[in-house]
A = this chain, B = another copy of it.
Amino acid sequence: MINKNNKAVLITIGDELLIGQTIDTNSAWIAQALNKIGIAVLQRIAVGDESQAIQEALDAAIAKAKFVFITGGLGPTADDITKPLLCNYFKGSLIRNKEVEEHITAIFTKRNRPILERNLKQADVPDNCKVLFNQLGTAPGMWFEKDHSIIIALPGVPFEMMGIVTNEVLPKLKKLVTDHFIIHETVITAGQGESFLAEKLIAFENKIPTDIKLAYLPSPGIVKLRLTGQSTNQAALQQKILTFKEELIYLLKDSIVALEDKTLDKIVSESLSNNHLTIGLAESCTGGYIAHLLTQHVGASQLLKGSLVCYQNEIKQRILGISAEDINTYGVYSETIATKMAYAAKELLGASIGIGISGKLSEDPIQSEIATGTIFISVVTNKHQIHQKILSLYDRERNKEVAAQAALLLIWKIIQKELA
């Protein structure tokens, strides 16, 4: 018999997933949450709003995994078929849950909206499930048990799903998984491709035991290296992985920008904040994207003075005070203009670091002699300047991402220079 312990399968339900109308972010979040309490995800599967496909996925998941998570299809409209299907699959009958009914009524009363019978029906739950209370929405989660597996059905709306998992599911699962641990340790490198890193790590890879896995995760500007292990002995596993991580850091020391799994915007934000530095941006081609990335984090107001998104030449003149003559002489896509933008942002916004970024992300009517994908970035402080010219040969969206990640890396580099 298969050992199902500590294993999970995630099933997401919805035609929108199969036609590419929405991107599934729930599975990644659930996987992270489960790993933290020692549960490994074997498989993720997405099926449509179709009874037979859902039942087959359930049968297969229950055969393999102790924990089965189902998201989606619990809404109030006719295309939401998960609840009656689960009721039938687990051979229960729908009964109205009073607590959920009161909660739904309270939500609609608070919002001053009429309550429809289809809303109250969301309080109907199979009589053979435990109800998982949904503080943030109207569709409750459901906990079923079958063939030594636990099946947890959740609404697909991300923040509702997260609320139920955090408040209702994880505390219960933690008590069930006490003898299995999963540890991931990630370091982040920049400036070298994965092949180059792998060459440096040949001896290291030969040395790591088979129960520890090393993974390479390249993305624009960076490569993440992840060590993963599973064990019944948490302390020993932790010790072992940290020892290998230290060696990894030693071997790659010139390329390392972070010692844990974080985005570059988070790394830069922390570095600015820890060193009481502030930044001011003049963004042209990134169009506010860098400011957006930095303001995702709590405390952004302490380090980001602002960003002047100057998408047109006229605005670069009016807001940043860059002369029409300079734009004509050097071209709007040039190191000189990017540098002038950086200094203007620094001065106008009163920041310790100024960033200027100007480039051509896709074909446009301006300055057509410049190759599409050419991007100029300048980062300046009172003491230092760093410049980079990039030729990013992808589509508009990816060129923007490349530009923003490169700018973040330059900010990180100038902080190191300031601290040196």
Chain A residues in the interface with B (C-beta under 8 A)? 15-25, 27-33, 35, 40-49, 53, 57, 75-79, 113, 116, 118-119, 136, 157-159, 182, 184, 186, 193-196, 198-199, 205, 213-218, 224, 226, 228, 261, 281, 283, 285-292, 294-296, 298, 300-301, 304-312, 314-315, 318-319, 348-350, 362-364, 366, 393-398, 400
The interface residues of chain B lying within 8 Å CB-to-CB of A285 are 295
Residues of B within 8 A of A308 (CB): 306, 308-309, 319
Given contacts A75-B218, A158-B398, 8 further A-B contacts (CB under 8 A): A17-B27, A20-B33, A20-B35, A77-B195, A159-B395, A295-B400, A305-B311, A306-B319
A22's contact among B22, B28, B294, by CB below 8 Å, is which? B28
Contact partner of A29 (CB less than 8 A), chosen from B20, B22, B41, is: B20
Contact B18 A195 (CB under 8 A): no
Q: Which has the most chain B C-beta neighbours within 10 Å: A28, A57, A184, A296?
A: A28
When chains A and B are docked, how far (Å) is the Cα of A366 from the Cα of B299? 11
Do the beta carbons of A312 and B301 come within 8 Å of each other?
yes
Q: A292 to B226, alpha carbons, bound, how many Å?
A: 31
Residues of B within 8 A of A193 (CB): 113
- Closest chain B residue to A349 by CB distance? B315
Q: Once the chains bind, are B319 and A311 in contact (CB under 8 Å)?
A: no
Residues of B within 8 A of A286 (CB): 292, 295
